[in-house]
């Protein structure tokens, strides 16, 4: 069995290829490890000429039912001719999750593409149009097995975990604890001001890296972080720069989005609170994975004095940003 200290220690290239062969996908020996930290993802060439992407799930993160719930959502979207990449059947119709020697995996068709040009209004409008279509389906119901994105799951719980595991340097502990508590209080007040919102199925991690652009437009990949949450979660990560820039970008995205879905404009008050939750969650995410050898190699600066000093400054800036009026499109 895999261990918490080295979750992928036994996932050798041979074992990855054997796993594919166990579901009738015989590789020709050519494969490329793709950039992924949470899971292990490989592009593999098959003897029948196809190229597929195999995703081996991090042990212990999602249950089988949670993974299959994501697969069902993406398959529903694909069935409605939306530009998403759904897992293929493995060995038998309808089976999209397989296991091999302790590792669970899914296989996807390879889809190429490039990063979208988010400074182009037409690109943002087209992306917004497809997110609107995704949300029109996601608004029909909620995930039954997957958790929600809220103040507790992305804010308080990560904060408590970091403190319980002594991840903050002693001389910065008071400063970090003080500002993170101040940030969480500001986030809570923002959600209280907005009031009850429609919570729905989301992509959950809809940043530019998960949108691949082709001559035919965008397609959306990696629904691994799909959750229940407010619709604006899938929009704010497309915005960057100063307030004027984000206002223009938001208007461009919504010009396409609202062709297919209505955005409750109260949710615009949650853009900076959601950004702040992501920052808190991100630090805990790296810390929780530190026993995976890939993480110290990828994030050598994590845990240093400078890292936590920067996080304190970052959260102070976010507390100030949350006091500003919401963006208006």
Question: Which residues are part of the catalytic machinery?
Answer: 205, 222
Residues 6+ away with beta carbon under 8 Å from 197: 230, 264, 266, 267
In whole angstroms, give the CA distance from residue 189 to residue 244.
25
Please, what is the Cα angle at 70 between 66 and 74, to 5 degrees?
170
Residues 6+ away with beta carbon under 8 Å from 96: 68, 71, 75, 87, 88, 89, 90, 106
Residues 6+ away with beta carbon under 8 Å from 283: 158, 162, 167, 311
Residues 6+ away with beta carbon under 8 Å from 120: none
Kindly tell me the sign of the dihedral angle through the C-alpha atoms of 300, 305, 309, 311: positive
Three-state DSSP at 192 gives helix
């Amino acid at each position: 069995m895999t261990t918490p200290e080295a979750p992928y220690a036994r996932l050798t290239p041979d074992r990855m290829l054997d796993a594919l062969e166990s579901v009738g996908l015989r590789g020709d020996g050519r494969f490329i490890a793709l950039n992924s930290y949470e899971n292990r993802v490989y592009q593999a060439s098959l003897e029948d000429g196809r190229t597929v992407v195999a995703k081996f799930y991090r042990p212990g993160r999602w249950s089988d039912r949670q993974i299959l719930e994501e697969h069902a959502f993406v398959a529903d979207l694909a069935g409605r001719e939306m530009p998403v990449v759904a897992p293929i059947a493995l060995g038998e119709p309808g089976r999209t999750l397989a296991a091999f020697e302790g590792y669970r995996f899914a296989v996807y068709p390879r889809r190429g593409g490039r990063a979208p040009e988010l400074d182009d209004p037409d690109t943002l409008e087209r992306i917004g149009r497809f997110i609107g279509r995704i949300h029109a389906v996601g608004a029909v119901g909620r995930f039954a097995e997957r958790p929600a994105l809220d103040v507790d799951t992305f804010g308080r719980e990560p904060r408590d975990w970091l403190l319980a595991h002594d991840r903050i340097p002693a001389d910065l502990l008071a400063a970090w604890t003080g500002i993170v508590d101040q940030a969480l209080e500001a986030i809570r007040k923002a959600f209280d001001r907005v009031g009850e919102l429609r919570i729905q199925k989301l992509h959950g991690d809809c940043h530019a890296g998960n949108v691949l652009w082709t001559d035919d437009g965008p397609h959306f990949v990696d629904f691994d972080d799909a959750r229940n949450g407010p619709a604006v979660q899938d929009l704010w990560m497309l915005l960057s720069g100063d307030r004027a820039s984000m206002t223009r970008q938001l208007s461009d995205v919504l010009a396409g989005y609202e062709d297919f879905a209505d955005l409750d404009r109260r949710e615009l008050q949650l853009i900076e609170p959601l950004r702040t939750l992501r920052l808190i969650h991100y630090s805990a995410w790296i810390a929780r994975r530190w026993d995976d050898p890939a993480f110290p190699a990828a994030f050598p600066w994590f845990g240093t004095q400078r890292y936590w000093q920067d996080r304190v400054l970052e959260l102070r800036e976010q507390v100030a940003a949350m006091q500003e009026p919401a963006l208006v499109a």
